[in-house]
Structure 1
Amino acid sequence: MSLKERISEDMKAAMRAGEAAKRDAIRLLLAAIKQKEVDERIVLDDAAVIAVIDKLLKQRRDSITQYESAGRTDLAAAEKFEADVLSAYMPAGLSDDEVVAAIEAAIAAVGAAGPGDMGKVMGVLKPQLAGRADMTEVSKRVKAALAK
C-alpha cells in the first residue's frame, strides 16, 4: 500500500471513529497532495508525498512558534496536534551519527574540495535524507565540513 493510500484509509477510519480534529488534519494533507498533483500534472510517489508532509510540518512548526510568542496557547495546541498527526506519516528519523556518515559519504562521492561544492553535495544528500533529517541542519553541517 502506498503512503497516499494509507493516508486515505486513515482519513476514512477517522471519519468512522468520529475524530473530527484528526480527520481535518488528514484532509488538509490530502488537499496539499492533490494540489501538488494538479499543479504539476503528475501522480506523486511516496518520496514526493513525504516532501509535501515535510513542508506542512515546517509550516506547523513556524506557526507554533509564532502562536506561543503571541500567547495564543489554544492555537498552538491545535497546530501541535496537526503536527503530531502529520509526523505519523514521516519515515523514522536518522541519528546524528547516520547523518554525519551520509554527509561524509556524499562529500567523498562528489569529490568536494571546498564551499563551492556545497550544491553538489546537497544535491546528493537531499533525496537520501529528505523527510528523515532536518535539511536546514544538514546544510549547516555540510557547510561546516566543507569549510575545513
Structure 2
Amino acid sequence: MTLRERLLADLTTALKTKDTARLEALRMVKAALQKQEIEVQHQLDDAEVMALLSTLIKQRREAAESFAKGGRADLAAREQAELELLESYLPAAVSADELESIVTAVIAETGASSPKDIGRVMKAVMARLAGRRADGKAVNDLVRAKLSA
C-alpha cells in the first residue's frame, strides 16, 4: 500500500469513526495531494507525497509558533495536533548525532573550510538525507556552525 493509499484509507476510517480532528487534517492533506497532482499532471509517488507532507508539516509548525506568540493557545494546540498527525506518516527523523556525523563527513569529503562553502556542503548533505526526514533549517544551522568555527 502506497503512502497516498494509506492516507486516503485513513481518511475513510476517520469519516466512519467520526474522528473530526483527524478527519479535518486528512481532508486538508487530500486537498493538497489533489492540487499537487493537478499541477504535475500525474499521480504522486511516495517520495513526492513525503515531500508534500514535509511542506505541510513546516506550515503547521510555523502556524503553531505564530499562534503561540499571538496568545492563541487553542489554535496553537490544534496546529500542533495536526503536525503530530502528519509526522506519523513520515519515517522517523534523523537523530542529532547522526546528522552531525553526516555533516562532519561531508565537510571532510568536500574539503570545505569557510562559510563560502555552505551551498556545496548543504547540497551534498541533503543528497545523503534523501528519503529520510531532516529539518533543512537545522541542517543549515549545523553546517554554518561547523564552517564558522
TM-score interval for Structure 1 and Structure 2 normalised by the shorter chain:
0.7 to 0.9
| 1:90 and 2:90 aligned | yes
1:47 alignment partner in structure 2: 47
1:23 alignment partner in structure 2: 23
AA of the residue aligned to 1:31: A
- How far has the Cα of 1:48 moved from its partner? 2.0
TM-score using structure 2 length: 0.86
2:80 alignment partner in structure 1: 80
Q: How does 1:110-125 map to 2 (within 5 A)?
A: 110-125=110-125
SS in 2 for 1:14: helix
Q: Take 2:77 and 2:148, find their aligned partners in 1: how far apart are those partners? A: 40
After superposing the two structures, state which structure 1 stretch, 32-41 or 56-65, moved more. Answer: 32-41
Q: Take 1:66 and 1:28, find their aligned partners in 2: how far apart are those partners? A: 20
* Contact persistence 1:129–1:135 (CA under 8 A): no
Q: How does 1:97-116 map to 2 (within 5 A)?
A: 97-116=97-116
Number of aligned residue pairs: give it.
148
AA of the residue aligned to 1:83: L
After superposing the two structures, state which structure 1 stretch, 110-119 or 32-41, moved more. Answer: 110-119
Deviations 1:55-93 (A, max 9, x none): 111111111122122222221222122112111112101
Identity of aligned residues (%): 39
TM-score using structure 1 length: 0.87
**Distance of aligned partners of 1:79 and 1:39 in 2 relative to their CA distance in 1, 3 Å threshold:** same
Deviations 1:79-136 (A, max 9, x none): 1221121111121012111001111232234343432322222122224436522210
After superposing the two structures, state which structure 1 stretch, 54-63 or 122-131, moved more. Answer: 122-131
* Contact persistence 1:2–1:46 (CA under 8 A): yes
AA of the residue aligned to 1:88: S
